[in-house]
Amino acid sequence: MSNAAREKTLILMRHSKAEQTPGKVDHDRELTERGRRDAHAAGTWLKEQGLVPDLVICSTSVRTRQTWDAACKGGAHTEFVEYRKSVYIGGAEDTLETIREDAGETASVLVIGHNPTIAQLTSLLSEGDGSRQAHEALADGFGTSGVAVLRYPGEWADLDAGSCQLQRFHLSRG
């Protein structure tokens, strides 16, 4: 079995709490103070869990970029970040296609996006497989700063519905 075919980690994260400013363009919405604290806490949790993605695929929105920046201040780290409009404007299928195309030979990928897409993608990929505790936590809702950790045994290009196991789900609060 080649290294690329070994078990991989896919981390799906919803951006942190963002402002609700009437008249502001959605793409430009910024994190609230709570959102910054929660994103920082998410970064700390990722570091504590030993989750260091080889690649971060981030929506182009201001709030997702700020979420990753604050997570880095909390201890998260990666060498490569790609900003993709498809994660901002697309649904679960578009985001899935972006992962297939961008992940290459990496062992771990973190996607920072929006709901309902991130929750739908988590459910689509795991279809109830994995940790019962994680699925029960996810059933309560994929809140802001939520992080789903999935295991995937195949090639990224073959990532599809039901191909992952949900290992952990964590709501980050700072």
Residue 53 has pLDDT above 60, yes or no: yes
**Residue partners of 24: CB distance under 8 A and separation at least 6:** none
What single string gives the DSSP state of each residue in 113-148? E-TTHHHHHHHHHHTT-B-HHHHHHHHT---TTEEE
Residue 143 lies in a domain: yes
Does residue 114 sit within a domain?
A: yes
Give domain status of residue 6, yes or no: no
The helix, strand and coil proportions of the chain, stated in percent and rounded to the nearest 5, come to 40, 25, 35
pTM of the predicted model, to two decimals? 0.96
Confidence of residue 171 (pLDDT cuts 50, 70, 90): very high
Q: How far is CA 66 from the centre of its chain?
A: 14
Q: Provide the residue type at 40 as one letter.
A: H
Average pLDDT over residues 56-69: 98
Q: How far apart are CA 2 and CA 23, in angstroms?
A: 51
State how many domains the chain has: 1
Tell me whether residue 156 is in a domain: yes
Mean pLDDT of the chain: 95
114 pLDDT band (50/70/90 cuts)? very high
Q: Does a structural domain hold residue 16?
A: no
Q: Is 11 within a domain? A: no
Region class of 130: left (phi > 0), else alpha (psi between -120 and 50), else beta: left
Confidence of residue 4 (pLDDT cuts 50, 70, 90): very low
| CATH label of the domain that carries residue 128 | 3.40.50.1240
Distance CA(67)–CA(172), nearest Å, equals 12
CA-nearest of 159, 157, 153 to 2 is: 153
Domain hosting 56: range is 29-171
For residue 61, the 8-state DSSP code is S
- Tell me what pLDDT residue 5 has: 56
pLDDT score recorded for residue 6:
82
Position 131 in a domain: yes
Q: Is residue 12 part of a domain?
A: no
Average pLDDT rounded to a whole number, residues 28-54: 98
- Contact in structure between 52 and 110 (CB atoms under 8 Å): no
